[in-house]
Chain A
Amino acid sequence: MAQAQQTEHVGLARVLGPAHVWALGVGIVLVGEYMGWNFSVGKGGAYAALMACWFAGILYTCVAMIDSEVTSTVAAAGGQYTQAKHIVGPLMAFNVGLYLVFAYTMLEAANAITFGFLVDTVATMSGHSGLDQRPFIILAIMFLAWLNYRGVLATLTFNLVITAIAFTAVIVLFLATSGVVGVSPLRHAELMSGAAAMPYGWLGVLAAMHFGLWYYLGIEGTTQAAEEVRSPARSLPFGTLAGVMTLAIAATLTWYVCSGLMPWEYLGQAGVPLFDAARLSGSTFLMVFLGIGTMFATLASANGCINDASRAWFAMARDRYLPGWFGAVHPKYRTPYRSIIFLVPIALIFALGAPIDQVITFSILSGLLEYTFMPLNIILFRRKWPLETIKRGYEHPFHPLPAFALLALCGMAFFAVFLGYGTQLVAMIAFYIVVSLWFHFWRYRFVNRGAQFTMPWPKPKGY
């Protein structure tokens, strides 16, 4: 016990720069261009998916702006959890911490499923059908957890390299198929004509917003590295906003290439759409490159997810919101090793036992609940600590416009999930209500009150 008490107060190592922050954010999310986004085509057609991509882009721009301001001030592990603890209150913080853990753990599970599916696809193409995907899923998660256990710098440097390769693959595929170099195989006019244009009408556009979030989901994870960044006030806003811009470009290019090569009915349910697009381009080089890109994107994302989910779990345990045993830092590697190990079997349970669209929906819903918290958070932050009371590393413009825009877009996304996945939505909210009552009436007794507030801020206005 004495050792646990001692280790949990050891800080995480400050070793990361803006490029690592970018790699963490984009690395988690870039897989969204390689798989998952295309389910939005299934929910509304190709045009609806493009509109959803841009609406989601606006949503995430608001998220990045709001998050950058708060994070440039609250530079501690736990990201939005720590923000909620200081600005809204403990119960909200507990919920936000769980949103983070489940959004990232489910995303990690979805990545592992896709990795297994890709290995199976490649094996089938090379004449080895009937491959068991499970060993590959387990191996991917175990390897990345080990990497995370060994240290954050090696983990995120690894992410930086494989994310850059995966992003380059998207750009190369676009350049090779768009007609910039040689003849373009894209056939948008024919593939999106007649009933294929808007198969569900405008309702489909709303519905597509559900998986439209997948283009960007996880970019807010940059804040999890706050305690390990050398210059948080500069690196976090820069890394996050650069990440959103990178993803908006990659998402649009991805949509353009895929919707010009595949009928929407196929694209809307494809497991690895960019790899399929490369296959249809007729180039073996592109097929191999995009196969590698898909593999790297899934690994980079799962890697970042393990990093983020474990930081959130660790931060909650350090405050005793969860059992304090998880709040320990490895004496040699300075990583939250118990949290990293604990979340491995949970990711495996979902990766091995649930369909991918359910896992993705679970992740999206946790993300969506988190984005709904953000406008409330920034409004309360500005009210309790007006601009002149705390110096921010970054002040987002036009407040409260981004907060209201974000609330409206979240409402739209909730309705989109309701269309087709209403049961999960209700089950998920029911879970969070029950778990909130459990925290408020039971778990909170183990939490010290004033000691939770660790920021050197003045007393909030109105208290």
Chain B
Amino acid sequence: MARYVAPVQGKVGQIIDVIVLLIMAIGALYIPLWLGLAGSAKTPQPIENPTWETLGQNPAMVEQWQKLGYADPASAAELITARFDYSFSIGALVVMIVVIVGYYAILLRFSEKEYRDVIAEKFGE
């Protein structure tokens, strides 16, 4: 196999490549945040005039809440009642599985193609 000679990349090209990579990486985290789609679906479920009993707290728990600085039930109510919403659709789960499996399939397929060239050149075929 003919030896592949990689072109030398100019400084401007190097800078552009790094910027592109950075935009993609920062976008992956910040776009969901900016769109308000990110993060936990943990939402408090307000209770009117909460007491430690209605919040389901026994005396030992109450004692620890107070040591932590939550003197009355109203101050701790939001923390105590907040719950994740774990409901999901089968469709969303299937999409997630397809995306993950598809991603690894792309990786393995393209990698194999590139790897064969590497081995062929390295071992002189």
Binding site for B on A (CB under 8 A): 42-43, 88-93, 95, 98, 102, 187, 190-191, 193-196, 199-200, 203-204, 207, 261-263, 265-266, 269, 276, 279-280, 320, 322-325, 346, 349-350, 353-355, 357-359, 361-362, 372, 376, 414-415, 418-436, 438, 440, 443-450, 452-453, 459-460, 463
Task: Please determine whether B32 and A423 come into contact, CB atoms closer than 8 angstroms.
Answer: yes
Chain B, Cβ-Cβ closest to A442: B17
> Which residue of chain A has the shortest Cβ distance to B79 in the bound complex?
A265
Interface of A is mostly: helix
B103 CB contact (under 8 Å) in A190, A433, A452: A433
B45 within 8 A of A: no
The reply to whether A320 and B99 form a contact with Cβ atoms under 8 Å apart is: no
Known: A323-B18, A353-B30, A421-B38. 18 other contacts (CB 8 A): A42-B42, A88-B108, A89-B118, A90-B115, A92-B108, A98-B25, A263-B61, A269-B79, A322-B21, A323-B14, A362-B29, A420-B42, A420-B84, A423-B39, A424-B38, A435-B21, A449-B118, A453-B118
- Interface residue? B20 (CB, 8 A): yes
| A118 CB to nearest B CB, Å | 16
* In the A-B complex, the 10 residue pairs with the closest CB atoms: A89-B111, A450-B121, A190-B60, A323-B14, A89-B115, A431-B28, A450-B122, A92-B111, A91-B111, A453-B122
Chain B residues with CB under 8 A of A92: 107-108, 111
Tell me which residues across on chain B come within 8 A of A276, comparing CB atoms: 68
The answer on a CB contact under 8 Å between B3 and A431 is no
By CB atoms of chain A within 10 A, which of B102, B114, B120 has the most?
B114
Contact across chains for A420 and B68 when beta carbons are under 8 A apart: no
In the complex the two chains form, is B84's CB within 8 Å of A43's CB? yes
Contact (Cβ within 8 A) B88 A419: yes
Q: Is B90 an interface residue (CB 8 A)?
A: no
Assess whether B111 is in contact with A422, with CB atoms less than 8 Å apart.
no
Taking the closest CB of chain A, its distance from the CB of B102, in whole angstroms, is 8
Contact B3 A450 (CB under 8 A): yes
Instruction: Assess whether B22 is interfacial by the CB under 8 Å rule.
Output: yes
| Chain A residue with the shortest CB-CB distance to B5 | A448
Across-interface contacts of A323 in B (CB, < 8 A) = 9, 13-15, 17-18
State the Cβ distance, A423 to closest chain B Cβ, in Å: 4
Count B-side interface residues using an 8 Å CB cutoff.
77
* Cα distance, A203 to B92, chains bound together (Å): 17
Of all chain B residues, which has the CB nearest A417? Answer: B96
Known: A91-B110, A95-B107. A445 touches B40 (CB 8 A): no
Per-residue CB contact flags for chain B residues 51-72 toward chain A (1 = under 8 Å, else 0) read 0000011111100110110000
Cβ distance A454 to chain B, nearest Cβ, rounded Å: 9
B25 and A446 within 8 A (CB): no
Q: A265-B79, A362-B29 are in contact. Are A420 and B103 (CB under 8 A)?
A: no
25 contacts between A and B (CB under 8 A): A89-B108, A89-B114, A91-B110, A191-B60, A263-B61, A265-B80, A266-B68, A323-B15, A323-B17, A325-B14, A346-B22, A346-B25, A350-B29, A358-B33, A414-B100, A420-B86, A421-B40, A429-B100, A432-B103, A435-B21, A436-B106, A436-B107, A446-B9, A449-B121, A450-B4
Answer whether A90 and B118 are a contact pair too, CB < 8 Å, given A43-B84, A102-B25: yes
What is the chain A residue whose CB lies nearest that of B116? A463
Q: Do B38 and A358 touch across chains, with their CB atoms under 8 A apart?
A: yes
- Judge whether B7 and A438 touch: CB under 8 Å: no
The chain B residue with its CB closest to the CB of A85 is: B118
Complex-state Cα separation, A446 to B33, whole angstroms: 34
Task: Return chain B residues, CB-CB under 8 Å to A187.
Answer: 60, 64
B3 near A444 with CB under 8 A, answer: no
A90 and B9 within 8 A (CB) = no
Q: How far is the CA of A280 from the CA of B5 in the complex (A)?
A: 65
Question: Measured between C-beta atoms, what is the minimum distance from A46 to chain B in Å?
Answer: 12
Could you say which residues of chain B place their CB within 8 Å of the CB of A423?
32, 37-39
Q: Are A418 and B32 in contact (CB under 8 A)?
A: no
Closest Cβ–Cβ distance, residue B82 to chain A (whole Å) = 7
The docked-state distance in angstroms from the alpha carbon of A440 to that of B21 is 14
Closest to A459 in B: B123
Q: Are B39 and A358 in contact (CB under 8 A)?
A: yes
Give chain B residues whose Cβ lies under 8 Å from the Cβ of A376.
104, 108
Residues of A within 8 A of B76 (CB): 265-266
Q: Given A325-B14, A420-B84, are A194 and B56 also a contact pair (CB < 8 Å)?
A: yes
Does A449 contact B117, Cβ atoms closer than 8 Å?
yes
A424 and B92 alpha carbons, distance in the complex (Å): 13
Contact status of A453 and B56, CB under 8 A, knowing A269-B79, A435-B21: no
Q: Which residues of B contact A322 (CB under 8 A)?
A: 17-18, 21
Give the most central of A276, A431, A460: most B CB within 10 Å: A431
